[in-house]
Amino acid sequence: METVSPAVDLVLGASACCLACVFTNPLEVVKTRLQLQGELQARGTYPQPYRGFMASVAAVARVDGLWGLQKGLAAGLLYQGLMNGVRFYCYSLACQAGLTQQPGGTVVAGAVAGALGAFVGSPAYLIKTQLQAQTVAAMAVGHQHNHQTVLGALETIWRQQGLLGLWQGVGGAVPRVMVGSAAQLATFTSAKAWVQKQQWLPEDSWLVALAGGMISSIAVVVAMTPFDVVSTRLYNQPVDRAGRGQLYGGLTDCMVKIWRQEGPLALYKGLAPAYLRLGPHTILSMLFWDELRKLAGRAQHQGT
C-alpha cells in the first residue's frame, strides 16, 4: 500500500466516500424506509407500503419522483466527508505509528477511528435519516419531522433542543460505525493482501482493490446491519422538549424493544438494500481510496 501522510489520507478518504455516496444514496433512502416500516409492531399487523427492494425503489420514485431517490444527498455527502475524513486520518495515524502491525491492531485502530468519525459526523447523519424518512402521508413510515432543507433542519433542532440535540442518537451511531469500520478496514487490508498473494491479478491493478472491497463488504454488512437498524430508529424517533427520545432510551433499550415486539429478524430489516448499498459503497469507497492513495504516493515520490 502506498505511503501517504495522514492529512492526505483525510482528503482522499473523504473524497472517495463522497464519490461512492452519490451512487449509493438511492439505496440508503430505500433502506431507511424499510428499517422504519412496522416500527414496534408485530409482523403482519401493519400496512407495508414498501415490499422488497425493487418494489420499494419503484414506490419511492412513483410518490416522491426520481429525485426522491436522492433525498438527503447533501446531508449524506456532509456526513461522508466528516466521518470518513476523520476515520481515515486517524487510521492513517495508527498505521504510521505501527499500531496496525500489532496483533489485532487493524481491528482496534479501525474501531477507534470509526468511533471518532461517527461522533464528528453524527449531526449530519441525524438530518440525513430524518430527511430520507419524509414522504407523503400514505407512504409514511416512522416519525415525520417535516424538514425542508439541511440548514432548516439544523436551525429547527438547534432552536428546539439546543446544541446537544444535534447529537441525538449518537449512542447508536458510534457502535454502528465502530463495528463497520473495524470490519471494513481490517478485512479490506487482509483481503487485498490475500488476493495479491494468490497472484491472480497484476499487483498494481485496480482489480486487486475491487476484489478486496467485494470480500470486505460481506463482513461489513453482516456485522453492521443490526446496529444500522437501531441507529436509524434512534435518529428518527420523536423527542420531548428536553431532547429525550419518546420511543427508545438508548442502544440497549432499542435492541430489546425491537427483539420483543418485532422479533429478532427485525434487526436485519432492509438487509437486501443494506447489502446493495453497503456492498457497492464499500467496494467503491475502498477502490477510490486505494487508487487515489497510489496516485498521491507516486506524486510524493516524484516530488522527492
* Upper half-sphere CA count for residue 205 (Cβ side, 13 Å): 12
Instruction: Locate 285 and state its grid cell.
Output: 469507497
For 74, counting Cβ atoms within 10 Å of its Cβ (0-12 exposed, 13-18 middle, 19+ buried), the class is middle
Count of CB atoms situated within 10 Å of the CB of 1: 12
Closest alpha carbon to 211 in 199, 223, 222 = 199
Looking at the domain assignment, is residue 1 inside a domain?
Answer: no
Range(s) of the domain holding residue 23: 6-302
Residues with Cβ within 8 Å of 178's Cβ and at least 6 positions away in sequence, in order, are 111, 112, 114, 115, 118
Read off the pTM.
0.84
Domain count, the chain: 1
With respect to residue 37, please indicate whether it lies within any of the assigned structural domains: yes
Residue type, 114: G
φ, ψ for residue 210, nearest 5 deg: -65, -45
Q: Is residue 247 part of a domain?
A: yes
> Cβ(286)–Cβ(185) under 8 Å?
no
Classify residue 52: in a domain, yes or no: yes
pLDDT 10s digit of each residue in the chain, 304 long? 456 678 877 887 788 888 888 988 999 999 999 999 999 999 889 999 998 889 999 999 999 999 999 999 999 999 999 998 998 889 889 888 888 888 888 888 888 988 999 999 999 999 999 999 999 999 999 999 999 999 999 999 999 999 999 999 999 999 988 888 778 777 877 887 888 888 777 777 777 777 777 777 788 888 889 999 999 999 999 998 888 899 999 999 999 999 999 999 999 998 888 777 776 666 666 667 667 667 776 766 666 5
The CATH number of residue 214's host domain is 1.50.40.10
- Is there a domain that residue 121 lies in? yes
Would 50 be classed as within a structural domain? yes
